[in-house]
Homo-oligomer: A and B are copies of this chain.
Amino acid sequence: MNRDMGDGSGIRVGVAGATGYAGQEVVRLLARHPAAALTVAMASSASSPGRPLPALGRLWDGAVAPLDVDRLAGEAEAVFLALPEEASAHLAPVLLDRGVRVFDLSGAFRLRDDARRARWYPHTPAVPPATAYGLTERYRAAIAAARLVACPGCYPTAAALALGPLVDAGLVEGDIVIDAKSGVSGAGKTPTERTHFSECHGSVSAYGVFAHRHGAEIEQELDRPVTFVPHLVPLDRGILETIYVRLAPGTSAERLAAVYEAAYRDAPFVRLRDGALPTIKQVAWTNFCDIGWKLDEPTGRVVVVSAIDNLLKGAAGQAVQNFNVACGLDERTGLL
């Protein structure tokens, strides 16, 4: 698929799961994307009634239709799935068979190892061959060639962008600790006791200790064990991860900075903040991943801080970034 495959008004794209938080962001981004024509947005089930999205009024005034795979395949060359993983696991292969390119925001196709996937995503028997892991900055070539892009989880995006270059350079020794703080929109749109306002406001809570599937995704990407603990913090959008590692003895601050600069020289959405540390406020409502660090040279202990907007770089924004790469467009199209 490339740009001139579309009709005059752009590549025809569709969204399934358009009423959730990530799905609405996909719709918002595609509605103003200069190279895409949003032809259809659907709910996450066939029985859902059609409805407008009032918050997107004037940005996109269509109605969200019930889920209908035939119509989806008929009206779109590329489809974004913002669905529960079980639904994605079922729907993606059908769309691929119909020649549609798929950008999946769920976890269904992220884990390549069968045993790992059986544990965390049991509804996905197999990963199709032309699947890329959609961490854009690390897999551009594979994404460009893929038919199915498994967009990373929000926590793994922030973690792998911060740790990937250090691991690749062989600098990391010993244990890796990832302490993640996430806004509540990451828990989705369905009301629960955990996400009830009065429970979250004025509170911080850890969850999923030693039992969060994003931990497995991070371990796959880094190819080593990590201790990963996510926390809910009382804000809506954004993730900040504080990462604790030891570097190989003698690693200098200059070397550390050089590794990051080399890794992200051509990455328009990674902003390195050597000497300062990122905050969530600086990345909220953007597709940036900001990375900063402090090294204690005598001991080799380093603290890396990585921040993203969980709904953009951690979900919808990265999916569109991958779409841009897949279509041969400038990676930034529709995202600044």
Contacts and interface: CB of A to CB of B under 8 A. Distances in A.
Interface of A: 21, 32, 54-55, 57-59, 174-175, 177, 179, 181, 183-185, 189, 191-193, 195-207, 209-210, 225, 227, 229, 231, 233-238, 240, 242, 244, 246, 268-269, 271, 273, 276-277, 279-282, 284-285, 288, 294, 296, 299, 301, 303, 305, 336
Contacts of A268: 58
B238 A281 contact: no
Contacts of A183: 198, 202
Given A196-B195, A205-B277, A276-B54, A227 B181 contact: no
B237 A202 contact: yes
B195 A54 contact: no
B235 A242 contact: no
A74 to B, nearest CB: 28
Contact of A203 (B184, B235, B285): B235
Nearest to A233: B233
A211 to B, nearest CB: 9
Contacts of A198: 21, 183-185, 189, 195, 236
A238 B231 CA distance: 15
A207 B203 CA distance: 20
Q: Which of A54, A189, A242, A277 has the most CB atoms of chain B within a 10 A radius of its CB?
A: A242
A271 to B, nearest CB: 5
A206 B175 contact: no
B294 A209 contact: yes
B231 A234 contact: no
A244 B183 CA distance: 22
11 contacts: A58-B268, A183-B202, A191-B192, A195-B197, A197-B197, A197-B199, A204-B240, A206-B242, A206-B277, A209-B277, A234-B235
Contacts of A238: 202-204
Contacts of A234: 197, 201, 233-235
6 tightest Cβ-Cβ pairs between the two chains A and B:
A203-B281, A191-B191, A179-B179, A205-B279, A184-B197, A209-B294
Contacts of A175: 174-175, 244, 246, 301
Given A177-B179, A206-B305, 20 more contacts: A175-B246, A175-B301, A177-B177, A179-B244, A181-B181, A181-B204, A181-B231, A183-B202, A189-B196, A191-B191, A191-B196, A196-B196, A197-B201, A197-B236, A202-B202, A202-B237, A203-B238, A205-B240, A206-B303, A207-B277
